[in-house]
Every structure is written in C-alpha cells, then in structure tokens.
Amino acid sequence: MDDGIFLQPVGILRAASAALALGRGLARPLGGGPLAFMAVRIWWAGSTGLTSDIVPVPELATWSRARGDAVTASVAGWLDRLSAPRPPFAGLALDRPLLMGVVNVTPDSFSDGGDHATADLAIAHGHQLRAEGADILDVGGESTRPGAEPVAVDEELGRVLAVVSAFAAAGIPVSIDTRRSAVMAAAIAEGARIVNDVTALAGDPESLGVVAASGASVVLMHMRGEPATMQRAPAYAHAPSDIYRYLHGRLQTCRAAGIAAGRIAVDPGIGFGKTLDHNLALLDGAAMLHGLGVAVAMGVSRKGFIGRLADIPEPKGRLGGSLAAGFAALNQGVQILRVHDMAATRQARQIWLALGSV
C-alpha cells in the first residue's frame, strides 16, 4: 500500500502552461490526459497524526532520498501511476472527458424519481440524452439515494432489461447501475458494456465472478454502509486517503479475479456515506485517485452537498452548482462525469475543452 504515503497532485495546469512546464521538466502529466501538475501534497502518518508537505515536482527526488530507499521507491511508483496514459474504457477513448447520462427507471430516485419510471419513458429520455451529447447511458432500476430501501431482484430486472436492450441495439454504450449479480449478468447479456456498482463489486458474492467472466468494464464506487443507513454520522480519519485505500483494495481484488486495469474505473462516491466536508475534500483532492492507475469517474450532479451550500432544497434547481462542481472535477482530471442535465453539461465541457486549446 505504498507505506502509507499518499500523493495528491496540486498546481494543476492546462494548455500552453502545461506544455511549457512539461517541456522544462517542472511538471508531470496527470492521468495521461491534457493536464499536468507542478507539485504534490504528500500525506503520511506522523507521530502526531496525519501530516502533509507540498513538494514541487523537480524537488521530489531530493525530498524522497532524504527519507530513505522505501520512500524513494514509493514516490517513484506514485509518479508513474499518476502520469501513465490510460487505455480506452469500454471501447471509449479518454482523450476528452466522457459524459455519462443518468437514466433512472425508478419511482423514487432522489432527483428524478418517477419521471422515467416506465420502459417507454426511460428509452425516450435516454435517446434525448444521447442527442444532447451523452457518451454513455447509465441505466438503473433501484434507487440508492440516502435512506433508500432495496427492491426485489425481479422488480429491478423488469425495470431495466428492455431499456438496456433498446439502447444497446441502437449502438449506444450502456452502463448498468446495479449492485446485484443477477441484474449485472442479464444486462450484460442484453448488451451493457459497463457495470456501475455502488458497492465496488463487494455487495453480492457472485458479482466479481460475473464481471470477470463477461469482459465488461466496471466502475468501482466507494460507499460507507448501505443506502438506508449510510448518512448516519459517517466518519473518516482523512477522507481522501481512506477512500483511496479502500478503492486500492477493491482494485487489487478485481485484478486478482482477472479483471484487467483497463476495464476498471474508480469513483469516490460523492454523497454516499459522506458529510459536506468529506464531499468537498474528495472533490478538491480527486487528483489523488489517479494514483490508482485507472480511469476516474465522478457523480456530482444535483447532489445534496450542492443544496446545502447554495440553500437549494429542490434537486432539479441545482444546475448551476452541478456545473460548477463538474468543472472542478474536470480540473482534477476526472475522465467520466455522471450527469442528469446533459445539454447544459455538454456546453460546459465544450467551453472547458476550448479553454484547454489555447
């Protein structure tokens, strides 16, 4: 686990500034994408608890050598993983951020429950999202909002399979948002390319084998506890490194089961067993997750932390905050952004991409 050392890239640059810093050896690429970082905040456990130091990239070798061979090797490994190019995910190149459109076929999801609760409505909504710029459609048949109760597997299957089949038949990359192995297997058989699991393939003992055997890609998300209880006083010693450690463990389990790193993305699970401060720390420090060496996904759209910060109780009224949080995620190198408001988010992404070209 890299001896308890965690590197969080800071001083993140884009466009001409990134190219200049890279050319002068002052920075390293971030996640193999268009961003570069000029320094890292190094976190480690000291005698008085977790501590950190900010070290510019050109000084890292000297900083590491002063602390011994083990630290030197750990920091070098981190830098390699932070900077390495990422292969395509589910057949989709990561040379620009991908937009994953939310298709909730549920009566009780937190922001749009009941809006698309039948197959026909969900299919029409998905095609609209695709027309507005969605790269992936994420189909879910069970709400995992805070306080949600589980639904029966047969009911979840009845909600999602026709929807997945319709999108796959149209050639649209489909993700199935589920924590049940039976739903994963059936959706993959209908053409789903991605499994998006809030339990990181730990919630159902059969799910790891289903995904490994299928060839599908997977998004491993962090969640503390169950949806019904996850917001009851969640606590972490240091949310970014605690969640990194958890996802590292799940990644290792998946690799051991035969799921190649190129088939895996990780998601810190904003709002899933986190306080407002935890969510902000995770969003601000998302670049640390590139140290896992895989694609990074994130869902901030309409989340409760936006409502609390901006005093917007209605989730559908949180577009401005969703766009701002999404922009912040892109500036941390997040490669897959899960969103509800596709047309507006695509506009924001196009501006972000244009600003990165000058």
Rounded alpha-carbon distances, angstroms, from residue 156 to 73, 88, 187, 341: 47, 30, 11, 24
Q: Is-contact 243 273, C-beta < 8 A?
A: no
How buried is 120 (Cβ within 10 angstroms: 0-12 exposed, 13-18 middle, 19+ buried)? exposed
316 classed as catalytic: no
Distance CA 354, CA 330 (A): 13
Alpha helices (H) in 88-175, listed in sequence order: 119-131, 153-169
Q: Which two tokens stand for residue 350?
A: 């196009």
> For residue 306, how many other CB atoms are within 10 A of its CB?
24
Q: Which of 250, 303, 318, 349 is catalytic?
A: 303
Q: Is-contact 265 211, C-beta < 8 A?
A: no
Distance CA 323, CA 329 (A): 10
Q: Which of 14, 179, 338, 346 is catalytic?
A: 338
Query: If we measure between CA atoms, which residue out of 246, 245, 186, 254 comes closest to residue 217?
Result: 254
> For residue 83, how many other CB atoms are within 10 A of its CB?
20
Helix (H, G, I), strand (E, B) or coil at 208: helix
Distance CA 335, CA 31 (A): 9
Largest Cα–Cα separation, the chain: 63
Residues tagged active-site: 303, 338
